[in-house]
A = this chain, B = another copy of it.
Amino acid sequence: MTNTQVTHIQIDNYGPWTVTPEPRREVDLQTLQSRLYADLAQLFGNRDGYIFFSRFDNMIAVTNGLDEADHALIQESVGNRYPVTMSLSVATGTTPVSALGTATEQLQAAGSAQDDGRREVLRGQTIDEQFRTDTDVQLAHFDVDDATGKYTDQLNEFDTFIQIEQGYAALMKYMREAYDSLSFFVGGDNVIAVCPDLDEAEYRDACDHVREAVDVELKVGVGRGRTPADAGMDAKHALEECRADGVTVRFE
C-alpha cells in the first residue's frame, strides 16, 4: 500500500493579473513562471519532496515528509519575493489521484482560482510521523528508448518534440484512467509518474499501450521510498539498469 501525500499549488488570481491593466510582456511571464517553479523545486526538493510544473500556474507536488509548518514557510517565502501569492492544499490517499482530488476540493471550497479575495489559502492535513512507512511513495521514471538515435539526431526538433509529446499525452491519460497515477513530463524524453502500488505487469501494460497508440517505445524504472526523493532516486537507478540490460521494466 502506498500513502501518497499530494499538494496542489495554485497561483492566486493569476490569469487576471497577467492582463491587468493590460497584457504583460510574455518574456516576463515566462521568466516569472519558470523561476517560481525553480524556487519551488528547491524549497520542496530540499525537504525531500518533488514538484512538477504541469501548468505552471497550477503545480502538483508529492510532499511526504513535509508538515504544515514547511508548507507555511514555503508560502511565506514566495509571498516575500514574488509579485503574486499562492495557495496550497495538501491531502493524502491510497492513490495519488484520490489524494489530489481531496486537495483540489479543499482549494475549490475556499474560492475560485480567479477570486480576487482568495489569497494565500493553506488547507489540509499532512501525515503524522508515526504513520509514515518506507513504502508510502512509489515513483516511476519513464524514458523513450533511444530517443537521440531515433529522433533528435534524425528529425527536425519540432517533429522530435511531437513524438515525445504524443507519447506523453497517451501515457499521462492512460496512467490516470487505468491506474490512478499522475504522470509529468520533466524534460528531454523523461516522464515521472506518481503511482499507487503497481506491479511489473501493469507498467508493462502501460508501455504496451503507448507503443500501440502512438508508436513510441518506453522503458521504466520504479522506486519506492519513505519520501519522494528516495523513491525517485531509486527509480533513476532502476532506469539505468533497464538501459544496461535492455529490459522494459525494472524495480529497484
On A, residues with C-beta under 8 Å from B are 8, 10, 14-15, 18-19, 22-35, 37-39, 41-47, 50-51, 53-58, 60, 73, 76-77, 79-83, 97, 100-101, 103-105, 108, 112-114, 148, 152-162, 164-166, 168-169, 172-173, 176, 182, 186-189, 192, 229, 232-233, 236-237, 240
Chain B residues, Cβ within 8 Å of A182: 158
Copies in the complex: 4
Q: Decide yes or no: A25 and B162 within 8 Å by CB, A19-B240, A56-B187 being known contacts.
A: no
Extra contacts besides A38-B38, A58-B160 (20): CB < 8 Å: A15-B188, A19-B236, A25-B76, A27-B50, A28-B80, A31-B42, A32-B81, A35-B81, A42-B77, A43-B46, A55-B161, A55-B187, A57-B187, A58-B157, A60-B157, A100-B157, A103-B156, A104-B157, A165-B168, A165-B173
Q: Which of chain B's residues has its CB closest to A79's CB? A: B83
CB distance from A113 to the nearest CB of B (A): 5
CB distance from A240 to the nearest CB of B (A): 6
Task: Pull 15 A–B residue pairs with CB atoms less than 8 Å apart, ordered by A.
Answer: A8-B157, A15-B148, A15-B188, A25-B76, A27-B77, A33-B187, A35-B81, A46-B77, A58-B161, A100-B158, A103-B157, A104-B155, A162-B172, A165-B172, A166-B173
